[in-house]
């Protein structure tokens, strides 16, 4: 997950830029994207753990 949201050109960079410029619509959109990615990755890990 760190690779997805970390770095200078990833989701985190876009989120942070939007946050700094007070673009609440983009901050909310990126928050939703990050939450969905987290849920998706967690479900994949759980399925792999049950296998």
Domain ranges of the chain: 2-50
Nearest Cα residue to 24 out of 15, 36, 13:
15
Residue 51 predicted with pLDDT over 50: yes
Is the pLDDT confidence value at 5 over 60?
A: no
The per-residue pLDDT for range 14-47, each reduced to its tens digit, is: 777 887 888 788 878 888 998 999 999 999 999 9
* pLDDT given for residue 28 in this prediction: 86
Half-sphere exposure of 35 (CA within 13 A, CB side): 6
pTM reported for the whole predicted model: 0.61
Phi, psi for 8 (deg, rounded to 5): -100, -10
7: left (phi over 0), alpha (psi -120 to 50) or beta: left
6, two tokens: 């970390």
């Amino acid at each position: 997950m760190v690779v997805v949201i970390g770095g200078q050109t990833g989701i985190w960079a876009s989120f942070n830029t939007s946050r700094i410029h007070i673009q609440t619509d983009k901050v909310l959109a990126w928050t939703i994207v990050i939450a969905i990615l987290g849920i998706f990755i967690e479900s994949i890990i759980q399925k792999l753990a049950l296998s």
